[in-house]
Amino acid sequence: MNVIIMGPPGAGKGTQSKRLEEKYDIKQLSTGEMLRAEIESKSALGREVESIMDRGELVPDELIIALIESRMSHSDCKNGVIFDGFPRTVAQAEALDEMLESHGRTLDAVIALSVDEAKLVDRLHTRIAETQAAGGAVRSDDNEDTLRRRLEEYHDKTAPISRYYADRNMLQTVDGMQPIAAVESAIAAILDRARAA
Ligand code: ADP
């Protein structure tokens, strides 16, 4: 089963993807996490994307597409993938269609988490506080200025892909403002239907 989880920054894509990973035994591919690992390891790619991410802008399509393409062929993706944070542009959505086809796979569901954007700043502060309480490092793009830029990028470049999937009758929206467990059940109901189809 191959699934896309989309939504603005702070919508809960990562939280839900991790839960689905266990429940359906499919692999979460978070492009944000993959890029942060590249930065951490000081790779050439990491050096290239670090300042772009710190500004809250999208990294170039060709870098992301190459990253996903190489990752998808790993054996841990053979049962399926939850795409978290990808695709983020129409060009990436088109590239994903081609990749899936060349791997003989299909896309089973596209889930958009809808949120009240006025609440995203509160969620950001909660995430920072929780990370610090757990002794972890706060993401360098988790601050209010960068969040605003990430939201602009989302509206300019990512929101249009809802249309791309709606036109293909793939898009299903889940209210991301519900408690985490309720969001999870709503997504699971969609995936169970997709799996039975
Ligand atoms: P969030 O959804 O909370 O903004 P992510 O961890 O998904 O966080 O992404 C963090 C940053 O990584 C983005 O702001 C962007 O710079 C970069 N990024 C992640 N995925 C993509 C993508 N598919 N295309 C372009 N840039 C991406």
Identify the pLDDT of residue 94.
98
Question: pLDDT tens-digit profile of 147-189?
Answer: 999 999 999 999 999 999 999 999 999 999 999 999 999 999 9
- Say if CB 124 and CB 131 are below 8 A apart: no
DSSP secondary structure letter of residue 5: E
Identify the pLDDT of residue 60.
98
Question: pLDDT tens-digit profile of 30-59?
Answer: 999 999 999 999 999 999 999 999 999 999
CA nearest to 9, candidates 179, 111, 133, 149: 149
Provide the Cα torsion 16, 17, 19, 22; round to 10°. 170
Question: What integer is the mean pLDDT of 134-154?
Answer: 94
- Within 6 Å (CB) of ligand 1, which residues are found? 9-10, 31-32, 35, 52-53, 56-59, 64, 85-86, 88, 92, 141, 150
- Give residue 197's pLDDT band: very low, low, confident or very high (50, 70, 90): confident
- Best residue for ligand 1 mutational test, from 52, 58, 63, 139 (most atoms within 8 Å of Cβ): 58
Question: What integer is the mean pLDDT of 22-31?
Answer: 96
- Say if CB 188 and CB 23 are below 8 A apart: yes
Cα distance between residue 194 and residue 190, in whole Å: 6
List the residue whose alpha carbon is closest to atom 12 of ligand 1.
32
Identify the pLDDT of residue 75.
94
The CATH superfamily of 3-196 is: P-loop containing nucleotide triphosphate hydrolases (3.40.50.300)
Q: At what angle do helices 61-72 and 90-102 cross, to 10 degrees?
A: 20
Cα distance between residue 105 and residue 108, in whole Å: 9
Question: pLDDT tens-digit profile of 76-124?
Answer: 999 999 999 999 999 999 999 999 999 999 999 999 999 999 999 999 9
Cα distance between residue 47 and residue 38, in whole Å: 8
- Say if CB 125 and CB 28 are below 8 A apart: no
CA of 31 to the centre of ligand 1 (A): 6
- Best residue for ligand 1 mutational test, from 5, 53, 121, 138 (most atoms within 8 Å of Cβ): 53
Identify the pLDDT of residue 8.
96
Count of beta carbons in the 10 Å neighbourhood of residue 125: 12
Identify the pLDDT of residue 29.
97
CA atoms within 13 A on the CB side of 37: 7
- Say if CB 96 and CB 85 are below 8 A apart: no
- Best residue for ligand 1 mutational test, from 31, 45, 52, 146 (most atoms within 8 Å of Cβ): 31
